[in-house]
Structure 1
Amino acid sequence: MPHFYLEYSDNIKNETNISDLLQKLNDVFLSHHHIIPAGGLKMRAMEFSEYVIADGKADDAFVHATLKLAKGRTEEDKKALCEDLFETMETHFDELLQKRYIGLSMEFYEFATPTYKKSNIHTRFK
C-alpha cells in the first residue's frame, strides 16, 4: 500500500518532465519488490501555483516528496528504499540544480494506526 506524493512548484514545469520522474521513481519502487507490492503502489504528482519560498523575492523552486507505508518492513529496507528514491530525484534534477535555485526534500511516514483498504488490483500480479 505504498503511497507516494510528489509536490512541486509550477515554475519548473517547463524545465523538467515530471511524468518521466514519476516513472523513474515507480521503477525504483518495483526494484524493491521484496518489500513493495506492485498492486498496492500509488503515485501522484501535484503542481502548486501559489507558494512562497525563502524570502519570496526570487524565482526559487521546490520539489517535495512524501512516502507513506504500512508497517512491516525492516529499518534497513526502509532506509535503502528512501535513499534510492531520493538519489533518483537528485539525479533527475541535477541539471536543473546547476541552473536555478531549487529545494529538494523527501519525508517518510509509517502508518501508526490501522489502515482501511480494499483493492482487487493485487490479483493482477498473482
Structure 2
Amino acid sequence: MPHLVIGYSRNIHNLSQEKLLKHVNHQLIATGLFQAKDLKSRIHKDEVFVIGDNDDTQGYIHAQLSVLSGRTEEQKQQLSQILLQALLSFKDYEAYTLSVQVCAEILEMPQNQYAKQSIQY
C-alpha cells in the first residue's frame, strides 16, 4: 500500500507514461508517509471517454491514490496537494489546444479489509 492509478484522455498525445509514474512516485515518497517499496503505480490511456456532451476541446489527467485508513485529514489533504502539484509540474506530453483538467483524488481503504502477502521466489 498505497496504490496509484493515473488515467488520461486519448486526446493527450506522446505522454511519457513511465516518466510520469516515476515523477509522481518520487514526490509521494518524499513525503515520508510511505516506504518506497510499498508504492505501486500504474497508468492507462482512456481510449473511450466523453466530457460533458462530447466536448472534444477538453482532456484530462486524473490520479487516484488509495491509502490505508488511519491517515489524518491533514495528511490526506497534503497528499492530494502534492499529487496535484506533481501532475501539474509534469510537461512531457502534447495537448495542442486542449483545456486539460488535472485532478488528484485520495481514496481511503479500511485497514481491516485489506490483505497483503509478499512471496519471495
Q: Is the shorter-chain TM-score for this pair beyond 0.5, marking a shared fold? A: yes
* Runs of 5+ unmatched residues, structure 1: 122-126
Partner of residue 66, structure 2:
68
**Alignment partners' CA distance in 2, 1:96 and 1:83:** 23
Structure with a larger share of its residues in helix:
1
Gaps of 5+ in 2: none
1:45 aligns with 2:36: no
Distance in 2 of aligned mates of 1:98 and 1:59: 10
- Which residue, out of 75, 79, 82, partners 1:81? 79
**Cα RMSD (Å) of the superposition?**
2.4
* 1:86 match: secondary structure: helix
Corresponding residue number in structure 2 for 1:124: none
Residue type at the aligned position of 1:90: L
Q: TM-score, normalised by structure 2?
A: 0.83
Identity among equivalent positions (%) equals: 28
Partners of 1:41 and 1:50 lie apart in 2 by 28
Distance 1:48 1:97, change over 3 A: closer
For 1:30, the equivalent position in structure 2 comes to: 29
Number of residue pairs the alignment of both structures matches:
119
Q: Residues of 1 paired with 2:83 and 2:17: CA distance?
A: 14
Q: How far 1:97 moved relative to its partner?
A: 7.1
